[in-house]
């Protein structure tokens, strides 16, 4: 009994001492580490939801975001891309191609032209042959040059073709050629345009391109031809279509020469072509040879025979690629020009023929800025015809 009471009393004493020690420890801790029982401040977002504040303190006050200016919402307009058109029928190699160019189309016939030294023409003032009737003074000229090929002073005196061969300076291809100096290491390409009066040629004139103009020879065009040549461009007498290959060939050719007396060459009609028939070609050679005119036809069946006949007679000869009148897409015309440039690169020379339709002029101006155009030297047609064969 006595031992049991002693053990119970000791237990109670231990509990009391423990409580006293715990209370004292608690008070010391509370004194050293006081507890803030006030609730943390809360912010409400614009939508009413509570926003938890950042518990990390900084030495500087945080900037007031709401006071910062708001950047305007600017949307940049998308630039419209030109519709270059699609072409599924023609594929021509680009600049730097080393392989043969694929066939452009049956609408573009062509090979190239003959002979000519490389050159860089400096035309002496040019008429804006196209859609205007006003006159402008050609640089360095004493008189005004008409804007269109049809409007020229009717008082100009023109030499007859019979005088060309035995004239003062020699054959027509030399007498009426324009001055030209250029890079003779490049392949040469001549651009011959038939003026349809549908589009102004002033942009080409401003670009300083040594174009040659084909003037219809079925009517008296001596004044028009003289005006073009006086403006610094070479002239080609263009044989009209439908001329007979068998009747009156010599008389017709003599008349064509008279109608365009300042021409450097006679250019064949596309259909039917006098120069692609052996008999009529011989008549053309015999009639024009004494005047020293070059001859140009289109590259078709019979072109090689015509070339052989011209070479045997000692007449300068060239064949031309033609841009089809059916081409209404600038991309097709550009590919045709690329094809001509490829031919020039292969044969060292080429001639391309086109009509001055608005689409053709726009495409030509674009092409002249291309890398492919930079691979050839654009020259007057007489330069191509006189370039020695490889």
Chain centre distance of CA 254: 39
Residue 229 lies in a domain: yes
Residue 135 is part of a domain; what is its CATH number?
3.20.20.370
- The pLDDT confidence band at residue 261, using thresholds 50, 70 and 90, is very high
- How are beta strands 265-267 and 234-238 bridged, if at all? parallel
Q: Is residue 133 part of a domain?
A: yes
181 within some domain: yes
Residue 34's pLDDT band (cuts 50, 70, 90): low
Residue pLDDT, tens place only, 275-328: 999 999 999 999 999 999 999 999 888 899 999 999 999 999 999 999 988 888
pLDDT tens-digit readout, 82-129: 444 444 433 333 333 434 433 333 333 333 434 444 333 333 333 344
pLDDT on residue 326 = 84
For residues 376 and 118, is the Cβ–Cβ distance under 8 A? no
- How does DSSP classify residue 213? E
Q: Considering the domain boundaries, does residue 1 fall inside one?
A: no
pLDDT mean over 254-277:
95
The predicted pLDDT at position 8 comes to: 56
Q: Given this model, what pLDDT does residue 13 score?
A: 79
Of residues 169 and 356, which shows the higher confidence score?
A: 356
Average per-residue pLDDT for the chain: 73
Does residue 16 belong to any structural domain of this protein?
Answer: no
The whole domain housing 246 covers 120-386
Give domain status of residue 36, yes or no. no
Q: In the predicted model, is pLDDT for residue 51 greater than 80?
A: no
Q: Which residue has the tokens 């919402």?
A: 73
| 145, 151, 152, 367 from 133: Cα distances, Å | 11, 7, 10, 28
Q: Does 11 score more than 80 pLDDT?
A: no
Number of domains in the chain: 1
Tell me what pLDDT residue 251 has: 96
Sign of CA dihedral 310, 314, 315, 317: positive
Give this prediction's pTM.
0.61
Q: pLDDT-based confidence at 390, cuts 50/70/90? A: low
pLDDT greater at residue 350 or residue 160: 350
108 within a domain of the structure (yes/no): no
In-domain check, residue 330: yes
């Amino acid at each position: 009994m006595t031992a049991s009471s002693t053990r119970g009393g000791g237990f109670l004493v231990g509990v009391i001492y423990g409580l006293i020690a715990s209370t004292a420890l608690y008070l010391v801790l509370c004194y050293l580490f006081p507890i803030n029982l006030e609730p943390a401040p809360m912010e409400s977002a614009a939508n009413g939801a509570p926003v938890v504040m950042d518990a990390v303190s900084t030495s500087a006050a945080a900037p007031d975001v709401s006071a910062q200016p708001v950047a305007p919402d600017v949307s940049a307009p998308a630039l419209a891309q030109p519709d270059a058109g699609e072409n599924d029928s023609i594929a021509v190699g680009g600049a730097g191609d080393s392989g043969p160019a694929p066939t452009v189309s049956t609408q573009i016939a062509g090979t190239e032209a003959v002979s000519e030294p490389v050159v860089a023409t400096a035309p002496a003032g040019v008429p804006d042959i196209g859609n205007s009737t006003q006159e402008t003074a050609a640089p360095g000229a004493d008189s005004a040059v008409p804007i269109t090929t049809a409007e020229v002073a009717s008082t100009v005196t023109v030499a007859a073709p019979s005088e060309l061969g035995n004239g003062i300076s020699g054959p027509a291809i030399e007498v009426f050629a324009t001055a030209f100096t250029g890079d003779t290491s490049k392949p040469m390409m001549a651009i011959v345009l038939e003026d349809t009066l549908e589009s102004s040629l002033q942009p080409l004139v401003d670009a300083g391109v040594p174009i040659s103009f084909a003037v219809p020879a079925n009517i008296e065009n001596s004044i028009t031809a003289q005006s073009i040549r006086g403006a610094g461009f070479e002239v080609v007498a263009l044989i009209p279509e439908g001329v007979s290959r068998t009747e009156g060939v010599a008389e017709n050719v003599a008349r064509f020469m008279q109608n365009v007396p300042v021409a450097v060459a006679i250019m064949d009609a596309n259909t039917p072509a006098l120069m692609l028939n052996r008999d009529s070609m011989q008549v053309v050679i015999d009639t024009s040879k004494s005047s020293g005119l070059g001859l140009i036809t289109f590259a078709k069946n019979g072109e090689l025979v015509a070339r052989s006949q011209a070479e045997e007679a000692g007449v300068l000869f060239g064949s031309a690629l033609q841009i089809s009148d059916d081409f209404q897409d600038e991309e097709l015309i550009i590919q045709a020009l690329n094809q001509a440039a490829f031919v020039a690169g292969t044969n060292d020379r080429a001639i391309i023929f086109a009509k001055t339709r608005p689409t053709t002029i726009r495409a030509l101006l674009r092409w002249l800025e291309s890398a492919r155009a930079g691979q050839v030297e654009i020259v007057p047609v007489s330069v191509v015809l006189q370039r020695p064969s490889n």
